[in-house]
Amino acid sequence: MTRDESSIELAAWLKTAPGRYLLAWEQARLDQEVADTFGFHALQLGLPELDGLRANRMPHRWVASDSMQLPQPLPAPAPADDAVSTRPMRPGPALHCEFDALPLPDASIDLVVLPHALELARDPHHTLREVERVLVPEGRIVVVGFNPTSLWGLRQRLGHLRRGMGVARERGLFLPRAGDFIGYWRARDWLRLLGFEVEAGHFGCWRPPLAGERWLQRFAWMDRVGDRWWPVLGAVYVICAVKRVRGMRLVGLVRQDWRAKARPAPAVVAHRRGSATPISRDSGLRGDA
């Protein structure tokens, strides 16, 4: 399946009852995570159906897609409720590019949001390396992904098993069939290897994998108790991390060369009391009487 077909399938699934339920939770969570992130440039990779940067106040914001169907520009955020007055910000243009080869210079973006971008990326490792490259020091990254250790992930694995056995062909899967689900702890390890410091992690969508709107509403109570009793079993997770850049210092041969080039202190000549014979402190030898 090509990336364009995967994007079309995901867009169609997001229009279903569980897809709308998922988008509502992710939108509310992202609004909280990006609202207090300041800077000049913000970027969203993938999932144009989600306005992941609408609550952010940066003057330049873009949404990028790797499919041939270009997304619409992000809308301007709503006016702030606090005492600080902000003028409306114009939406940024849409970008079409490969996520593992971003057409951006090094250290040029302050915030990058990846809603399910790693799951559909051609090379998720290279995509994260590209994000680390374009982020400024202390820049923030927000990763959203499906949780394979959840009821939704279990339903998806059972669907793949049934399809492999030839039991189900069309309606065996609950989630879109494209993509490789990346676990929460696995994604955290990838971020740490690239020098990111994970600040927070959140889980959501604890209702069972049901296709009907009425049945999903009957299990709405699971969202109220899931965060307390079984938080790691949420169908989706959000990871917030910061790019850390360590300080530099002189080590190894550089320090040794600096010491080797240091000039010795000049010799100091002293006189012994009661004698005219000079004594050199530099050599430690006394002259002949």
Q: Residue 176's pLDDT is what?
A: 79
Asked whether residue 248 is assigned to any structural domain, the reply reads no
In-domain check, residue 260: no
What per-residue string of b and e applies to 216-253 under the rule 16 or more CB within 10 Å gives b?
beeeeebeeebeeeeeebbbbbbbbbbbeeeeeeeeee
pLDDT confidence of residue 264: 56
Q: Is residue 264, in this structure, part of any structural domain at all?
A: no
Calculate the CA 143 to chain-centre distance: 5
15-24, 178-187, 270-279: segment of lowest average pLDDT? 270-279
Residue 22 host element (H or E): helix 17-34
Determine the pLDDT at residue 161: 79
Q: Is the predicted pLDDT of residue 172 greater than 80, yes or no?
A: no
Q: What is the tally of structural domains in the chain?
A: 1
Helices then strands (H, E): number in the chain?
A: 9, 9
Whether 288 is in a domain gets the answer no
pTM of the model: 0.75
Residue 277 has pLDDT above 60, yes or no: no
Mean pLDDT is lowest, of 42-51, 77-86, 125-134, 185-194, for 77-86
More confident residue, 80 or 197: 197
User: With bands split at pLDDT 50, 70 and 90, how would you rate the model's confidence at 9?
Assistant: confident
Q: What is the CATH number of the domain that holds 97?
A: 3.40.50.150
Mean pLDDT of 32-38: 93
User: Does the residue 282 lie in any domain?
Assistant: no
Question: Is the confidence at residue 79, as pLDDT, over 50?
Answer: no
3-state secondary structure of 51: coil
Pairing of strands 269-271, 278-280: antiparallel
Any domain includes 66: yes
Q: Is the pLDDT of residue 128 over 60?
A: yes
Q: How confident is the model at residue 75 (pLDDT cuts 50, 70, 90)?
A: very low
Q: What is the pLDDT confidence band of residue 168, given thresholds at 50, 70 and 90?
A: low
Kindly indicate the confidence band of residue 88, based on its pLDDT and cuts at 50, 70 and 90: very low
pLDDT at 268 over 70: no
If phi > 0 it is left, if psi is from -120 to 50 it is alpha, else beta; for residue 66 that is alpha
The predicted structure's pLDDT at residue 74: 43
- Structure letter (DSSP) for residue 170: S
Task: Give the pLDDT score at 276.
Answer: 53
Residue 226, Ramachandran bin (φ over 0: left; ψ between -120 and 50: alpha; else beta): alpha
- Integer Cα distance of 83 and 87 in angstroms: 13
- Write out pLDDT tens, residues 205-255: 999 999 889 999 999 999 988 888 888 999 999 999 999 987 645 455 444
Domain coverage including residue 131: 3-243
**Residue 59: its pLDDT value, please?**
92
Task: Give dist(CA 74, CA 92) in Å, integer.
Answer: 7
Q: Pick 176 or 285 by higher pLDDT.
A: 176
In-domain check, residue 64: yes
User: Which string of DSSP letters, residue by residue, matches 239-288?
Assistant: EEEEE--------THHHHHHHHTPPPPPP-EEE-TT---EEETTT--BPP
Query: Which pLDDT does position 4 carry in this prediction?
Result: 67
Q: Of 86-90, 104-108, 160-164, 234-238, which range is least confident? A: 86-90
Residue 66 near residue 3, CB atoms below 8 Å: yes
Does residue 262 form part of some domain? no
pLDDT greater at residue 249 or residue 25: 25
